[in-house]
Structure 1
Amino acid sequence: MSITIFSQGRNTSRWADALRERRPGLEVRTYPETGSPDEVEFALAWNHPQGVFKAFPNLKCIASTGAGVDHILRDPELPEGVKITRIVDENLTHDMAAFVTALVLNQVRGLHSYKEAQRQHTWKQHSYLRTKDVVIGMMGMGELGSYAAQQLSKLGFKVHGWSRSPKLMEGVGAFAGPEEFDSFLSSSHILICLLPLTKQTANILHKDTFSKLPKGAYVINVARGEHLVDQDLIDMIDQGHLSGASLDVFREEPLPADHAFWSHPAIHVTPHIASVTNPESAVSQILENYDRMRHGEALINVVSKTKGY
């Protein structure tokens, strides 16, 4: 048996090298060089060609190379009965919290304005907000969102979390379900999206959502581009209701050169780098699931296809 990598638009050599280094003698193949379709039982995937898995009758597991699985679940031709797993990596969790914290502090202290002042050789001090006076609204309280919320709370921010079901943790207010969404939004000075992408959460960052935030609120999206209605964000910033946004994910990646986000003065763009899987640190759990599959044991980090995460 082998581990077969299915990916489009990414260099898969680091994954292949990490697997072979950790497990010498393991056969690692990369699509389309898969060998006999009957031999493919374990797939490692990111942005795979849609419908490709139906050609492998003995496939038992599709493992995402990241924390998200929407790129797998959007395939309408996924084989029945195949387990889907995701990466749960302490490094990913810490990286995301650090990145989100950097964006929040940049906004609260207005550091971006000093870079422009530097270019103009202008010495001008600006007022800033204190952490105790800022409420952070965290949309999504899974591993990434919960840890980021706790870290922001430790810095003195008031932090509220919103999720499908209540997540109770020290220092973080709990809001849950559609019935508490408006209350959650009404006090959020900085709104952070770390939701999984599902049918229920797609396009959730739209004009009605933004209108329920306090005037001058700031939006951070580090989840998926499909959560955001692009033009609604631009409109709400231009109308003065939102002060701006930091975006790390987009509906089309790379972000097209003619997209309005590039040139908008109140929108900060980064190229999907908030939290990037390191194959060398994540390969152990891939191999653990590979071994569990071979021995007929329960897999770890299995995704619910109905929930989407």
Structure 2
Amino acid sequence: MIKALFAAGPDRWDTYASPLKAAFEGAGLEADLRQDFAPEEVDYIIYAPHSDLQDFRPYTRCKAVLNLWAGVEKITGNATLTQPLCRMVDPGLTQSMVEWVTGHVLRYHLEIDRSVALQDRWLPYVPPLAEERPVTILGLGELGQACATALTRLGFPVSGWSRTAKDLPGLSCHHGTNGLRDALASAQIVVLLLPDTPQTANILDSNSLGWLPQGARIINPGRGPLIDDAALLTALDIGPVDHATLDVFRVEPLPEDHPYWAHPRVTVTPHIAAETRPLTASRVIAENIRRGEAGEAFLYVVDRDRGY
């Protein structure tokens, strides 16, 4: 009998217990899922970084820690974690991110905010076609590639930037510092989907924001620390950024006195772009446990040096 410890907080238990048990059964696993095993009995830990479990040393039998969320920045630096750590790549989360990003890109492209604000006046506006609206996506992992595919299908010319070189069909790919400048230079809309690592912190700062064309829009459903907040506020006030839609922040919930709330060129959304979906995420967890028991390689193992 496989013993799987659910260490994602009691508030998540009611949401995940049934889908996980059903996924284990569907994968042919005989597994006991609980919140209170003795550490030395545990085979797998199903985890969320806000969990009270922070010392992994007693879990001597544990074969892997399976993260329920895509973000792993709060656990990768834990020196007691010596077991393989697997991040969550949830097809449900990916689909919701694609829908959210596509919706806000189209909102900017079609100037929907302007149309709503001018409802009492007849001022016709004909937007360009999608092929005339370049979009740049910073981050070409699972989420970035999925969003890029959706946007290219709508006709947008999409450029992508990643820390390492990539070659993806239908996409103009850039990497490195010079590549970042090239990717931003023509971007009328920028979407941030990078992980939070020391190398990506403040990737949009006073310097890189200055590479954008006048009137550029920014969409950040990735991680709050990707943007230097003070630099963005300045770029919104004096250019070149026309508007920013932000779903993630350095401190969440966003403090009531934060300048973003009152800024007329900022749209704040409460970290809703993408959420792990219990049904589909449970199947990912079950598949990784099946792999572990079969001696196969785990899916989505985190590279500790890269931080994701």
Q: Same fold (TM over 0.5)?
A: yes
Summarize deviations over 1:218-256 as a string: whole Å, max 9, x none: 111111112122121111101132101111111122222
Give the corresponding residue for 2:106: 105
Give the corresponding residue for 2:12: 11
Cα distance in 2 for residues equivalent to 1:9 and 1:262: 32
Cα contact 1:192–1:220 (8 A) shared by 2: yes
Aligned residue pairs, count: 302
Q: CA deviation at 1:8?
A: 5.2
Cα distance in 2 for residues equivalent to 1:9 and 1:208: 44
Give the corresponding residue for 1:91: 92
SS in 1 for 2:57: helix
Change (3 A) 1:206 1:142: same
Give the corresponding residue for 2:33: 28
SS in 1 for 2:161: strand
Give the corresponding residue for 1:229: 228
SS in 2 for 1:192: strand
Tell whether 2:39 aligns with 1:40. Answer: no
Cα distance in 2 for residues equivalent to 1:278 and 1:205: 30
Worse overlay, 4-13 or 135-144: 4-13
What amino acid is aligned across from residue 23 of structure 2 in structure 1?
Answer: R
SS in 1 for 2:285: helix
Worse overlay, 20-29 or 252-261: 20-29
SS in 2 for 1:237: helix
Cα distance in 1 for residues equivalent to 2:117 and 2:205: 29
What amino acid is aligned across from residue 110 of structure 1 in structure 2?
Answer: E
**Aligned ranges for residues 238-257 of structure 1 at < 5 Å?**
238-257=237-256
Give the corresponding residue for 2:81: 79
Cα distance in 2 for residues equivalent to 1:185 and 1:226: 18
Summarize deviations over 1:157-185 as a string: whole Å, max 9, x none: 11111112333233211112223221121
Q: CA deviation at 1:296?
A: 3.8
Greater length-normalized contact order (CA 8 Å, ≥ 6 residues apart):
2
Cα distance in 2 for residues equivalent to 1:129 and 1:57: 60
What amino acid is aligned across from residue 100 of structure 2 in structure 1?
Answer: F
Give the corresponding residue for 2:116: 115
2:60 to 57, 62, 74: 57
Q: CA deviation at 1:58?
A: 2.9
Tell whether 2:70 aligns with 1:67. Answer: yes
Change (3 A) 1:99 1:259: same
Please give the root-mean-square deviation of Cα atoms over the aligned residues, in Å.
2.2
Q: CA deviation at 1:123?
A: 4.3
Q: CA deviation at 1:212?
A: 0.9
Structure 1 alignment gaps of length 5 or more: none
Cα distance in 1 for residues equivalent to 2:170 and 2:288: 35
What amino acid is aligned across from residue 102 of structure 1 in structure 2?
Answer: G
Summarize deviations over 1:168-224 as a string: whole Å, max 9, x none: 233211112223221121111111111122221122121111111111111111111
SS in 1 for 2:191: strand
Summarize deviations over 1:107-133 as a string: whole Å, max 9, x none: 111112333334xx4444345333122
SS in 1 for 2:118: helix
Cα distance in 2 for residues equivalent to 1:9 and 1:136: 41
Cα distance in 2 for residues equivalent to 1:262 and 1:142: 30
Structure 2 alignment gaps of length 5 or more: none
Worse overlay, 250-259 or 213-222: 250-259
Cα contact 2:7–2:53 (8 A) shared by 1: no
Change (3 A) 1:133 1:85: same
SS in 2 for 1:70: coil
What is the TM-score with the length of structure 1 in the denominator? 0.89
Cα distance in 1 for residues equivalent to 2:288 and 2:117: 49
Cα distance in 1 for residues equivalent to 2:242 and 2:46: 41
Give the corresponding residue for 2:297: 298
Cα contact 1:46–1:71 (8 A) shared by 2: no
Give the corresponding residue for 1:211: 210
Worse overlay, 7-16 or 227-236: 7-16
Worse overlay, 175-184 or 207-216: 175-184
Give the corresponding residue for 1:125: 124
What is the TM-score with the length of structure 2 in the denominator? 0.89
Give the corresponding residue for 1:199: 198
Summarize deviations over 1:114-153 as a string: whole Å, max 9, x none: 33334xx444434533312211111111111112112211
Summarize deviations over 1:13-70 as a string: whole Å, max 9, x none: 211221123346742223xxx2312112311122234733234333321111122322
What amino acid is aligned across from residue 206 of structure 1 in structure 2?
Answer: D
Give the corresponding residue for 2:288: 289
